Amino acid sequence: MLQIVEMLRGWKFPSAIKLAKITLILGAISQFSAHADLDQYRYQAWEIRRPQLYRDYNFKAGPVYFDIKGRLAVTYDSNITRIPENPIDDIIFYPSINVSAMWEYSMVNSLTLNVGIGYEKFLENSQLDSNRGFLSLTPDSELAFSVSAGNLSLQVFDGFGYLTDATNTVGIGPGGESIPSAGRYGRFINRFGVRGAYPLNIVDLRFEAARMDEIPDDDERFNFRRHHEYIFRVSAERDFAANMNGGLGVTFSDTNYAESINNNGQSFSVGPFLNWSISKYMVFQGGVSHVWRTFETGGLNEDTTSLNGWAFNMEVFHDLNKYYNHSLILARNQNYGFVTNSQEIDSIVYRFDVQPLKEFRFNGEVGWEEGRDSGGQFAEEYERWTARLRTGKAWGPKFVSRFYVAWSDKISKLPERSYQQFLAGIELEYDF
């Protein structure tokens, strides 16, 4: 989810299309975000965003503005542990609260905080409740200090989250043995760093330096995922015309694992990106980069290879009329692997937003992806088909209800990691 938000920050679309775009994508995926993928959209531009909470805040304590939202999500999951045979279904309750606060103590300096706190409760399988009694922290939780000096804008940030996912990804036992369908994967994620922007005569420079830590809470099965990663990136972008901007992005990362299951490695990528408003009703955005990876050897995953190559993300958005808009996305992501050195994923996604009735909008997507790990004893190749549909209704200025359904079918060359899943849920949100 974080990477998609960063991608959106780089877009410069006409306002009507941009609003439709954000509604379409964020509405379609907000209930289905998977593990935070730090590789996605690294070649895209980004910017410091200063929330204007005072325009829509709940209350004020001295100079600090607060905005509080409460949510209750109830989901039916047909396969809570993502297994191929004899799946277990359940109903999950997820109450949560999101608190945003901003102290803007001058025109150029501000301190912001965004925290989302929730708890997952399974109706029949309490052993899968939020791990070990921990509350979940949404991955967009962040404390940030923004300051400006002349043309230079800086933001020191600490992004954090505690996530618990049902997963069919393998765990690793104390002896290095595979644990298929390991159930729940809980981990803390923290990302601390500085990002900034500086406009020059012909280009705008943007940069970020950060450290990301992932700390699993299950040492028996997932401690092999404990690692830290240093991330450095810079981009130069400019406007080529009133309806077109683009530039060049460079990213370097260095990853070190606490255990010798996975191999430590480095990644370097460079490539251009472009945002083009072709017409009033059509937008193209995309980027291409080449990724080079190097890894140490000797890890117990027995992976001595890597998947160097091209990564890209191309999307065409079409605003057909006031009732229907849609987009087509073609992508190839080059990622670090879960129990392998690296992973390559190709995907095709069709997204749509339709308003058949005055008070109801529906958005959804159908997609296909194919993934392959670089090698080693845990390497996997798979394909996955997905379909999602979502709608919502506002019951006044404070209360919103949403409903969604989703289906996925994963076909893996490792039979124990294939599965089918159906989700249906309702979400109630109240803005205090």
Paired with 143 in beta bridges are: 113, 158
Query: pLDDT tens-digit profile of 92-137?
Result: 999 999 998 888 877 778 888 888 898 888 899 887 776 656 678 8
CA–CA–CA angle 358, 359, 365 (5° rounding): 95
Q: Which of 38-47, 91-100, 145-154, 308-317 has the lowest mean pLDDT?
A: 38-47
The pLDDT value given to residue 39: 35
Per the structure block, which two tokens stand in for 43?
Answer: 């070649």
| 248-257 confidence digits (pLDDT tens) | 999 999 999 9
Of the candidates 317, 375, 396, the residue with the CA atom closest to the CA atom of residue 350: 317
- Average pLDDT along the chain: 82
- Separation in Å, CA 338 to CA 53, 116, 161, 191: 38, 26, 19, 19
∠ CA 77-4-370, rounded to 5°: 60
Lowest model confidence (mean pLDDT) among 54-63, 129-138, 296-305: 129-138
Look at residue 422 and tell me whether its pLDDT is greater than 90: yes
Q: What is the pLDDT of residue 166?
A: 62
The DSSP code sequence of 18-50 is HHHHHHHHHHHHTT---S--TTTTTTS------
In tens, the pLDDT along 336-352 reads: 988 899 999 999 999 99
Q: Residue range 318-324: average pLDDT?
A: 91
Encoded tokens for 431: 């803005």
Reply yes or no on whether the pLDDT at 428 is more than 50.
Answer: yes
pLDDT at 354 over 90: yes
Which has the minimum average pLDDT: 160-164, 208-212, 317-321, 328-332? 160-164
pLDDT at 327 over 60: yes
pLDDT at 15 over 60: no
The pLDDT, as a whole number, for residue 52 is 56
* 175 within 8 A of 151, measured Cβ to Cβ: no
Q: Answer whether residue 141 shows pLDDT above 60.
A: yes
| Paired residues of 239 in beta bridges | 245
Instruction: Check pLDDT > 70 for residue 36.
Output: no
Query: Does the 2-431 domain belong in CATH 2.20.25?
Result: no
The pLDDT confidence band at residue 24, using thresholds 50, 70 and 90, is very low
Q: Which of 12-26, 73-87, 274-288 is the least confident region?
A: 12-26
Domain boundaries, the chain: 2-431
Asked if pLDDT for residue 50 goes beyond 60, the answer is no
pLDDT confidence of residue 6? 34
Give the 3-state secondary structure of residue 226: coil
Q: Each residue of 157-213: pLDDT tens digit?
A: 998 888 776 666 667 766 666 766 666 778 889 999 999 999 988 899 999 999 999
At 59, is the pLDDT very low, low, confident or very high (cuts 50, 70, 90)?
confident
Is 306 a residue whose pLDDT tops 70? yes
